[in-house]
């Protein structure tokens, strides 16, 4: 649904000049109902001058009157000049200036932990160009020695859902190609929710395999002959004085 120009200022005007409900105004301007309540209480948008949607050809008086009489009526935008001729922009997403310096670190993280992603997917996720991605892959980037891999979601460059969707798409493509994948690769291609829901894999160092079946009564696995070993015998050793006495008796 298209939104009016200057949404917050339009909400201020509707609150000051109409009796339309907060929910109706919130749906019309694309804000939360609590924000509209805050504007009415003076806690939000303090000092913002109201923007008349009637004078700016975005609402009609008849539409406002319908909304005032019917609390369930949804306001319909009459005309939005800003949306006229608007088309979806293609190419890398816009990245704020304050976060552009973090993009190489995000690229390094994606290249390291998700090598199955192609350059076009990485470019869409973090809003960069293919030459930059290639320089990070080949470690020829001018600042490669100072770069650290950082999750682009943590940096705010993309959403977790977008990253999961890209990884799932890469997984489907690799599966369709029939390439072999080991367990680590399968885990990398899972979404966050799927990966967290998997049971941990039991692992045991190879150096102690088999010791868990060792038995004091008969060696490894509890099998085999041998005398039964009493653990107490290791701590009840004969005294040195008794051994000397036995030696004297033997000499006599």
Q: State the pairing for strand pair 214-215/219-220.
A: antiparallel
Tens of pLDDT along 145-183?
999 999 998 888 888 888 888 988 888 887 787 655 555
Calculate mean pLDDT across residues 22-40. Answer: 89
3-class SS of residue 215: strand
The four Cα atoms 158, 9, 71, 63 give a dihedral, to 10 degrees, of: -110
pLDDT exceeds cutoff 60 at 241? no
Exposed/middle/buried for residue 72 (C-beta within 10 Å: 0-12, 13-18, 19+)? exposed
The residue that leads in pLDDT, 245 or 43, is 43
- Spatial CA neighbour of 78 closest among 133, 172, 3: 3
The residue that leads in pLDDT, 131 or 241, is 131
Q: Give percent above pLDDT 70 in the chain.
A: 62
- Contact between 36 and 26 under an 8 Å Cβ cutoff? The reply is yes
Q: How high is the pLDDT of residue 31?
A: 87
Calculate mean pLDDT across residues 118-141. Answer: 91
Domain ranges of the chain: 7-83, 90-197
């Amino acid at each position: 649904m298209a939104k009016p120009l200057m949404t917050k200022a339009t909400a201020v005007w509707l609150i000051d000049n109409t009796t339309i409900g907060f929910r109706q105004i919130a749906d019309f301007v694309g804000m939360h109902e609590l924000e509209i309540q805050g504007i009415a209480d003076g806690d939000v948008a303090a000092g913002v001058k109201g923007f008349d949607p009637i004078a700016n050809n975005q609402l009609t008086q008849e539409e406002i009157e319908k909304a005032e009489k019917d609390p369930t009526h949804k306001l319909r935008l009459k005309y939005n000049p800003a949306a006229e001729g608007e088309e979806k922009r293609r190419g890398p997403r816009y990245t704020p200036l304050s976060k552009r310096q973090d993009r190489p670190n995000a690229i390094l993280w994606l290249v390291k932990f998700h090598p199955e992603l192609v350059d076009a997917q990485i470019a869409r996720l973090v809003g960069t160009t293919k030459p930059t991605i290639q320089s990070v892959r080949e470690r020829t980037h001018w600042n490669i020695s100072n770069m650290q891999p950082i999750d682009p979601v943590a940096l705010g460059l993309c959403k977790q859902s977008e990253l999961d969707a890209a990884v799932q798409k890469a997984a489907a493509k690799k599966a369709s190609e029939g390439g072999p994948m080991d367990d680590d690769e399968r885990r990398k291609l899972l979404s966050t929710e799927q990966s967290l829901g998997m049971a941990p894999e039991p692992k045991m160092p190879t150096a102690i395999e088999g010791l868990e079946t060792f038995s004091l009564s008969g060696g490894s696995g509890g099998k085999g002959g041998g005398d039964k070993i009493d653990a107490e015998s290791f701590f009840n050793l004969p005294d040195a004085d008794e051994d000397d006495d036995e030696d004297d008796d033997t000499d006599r």
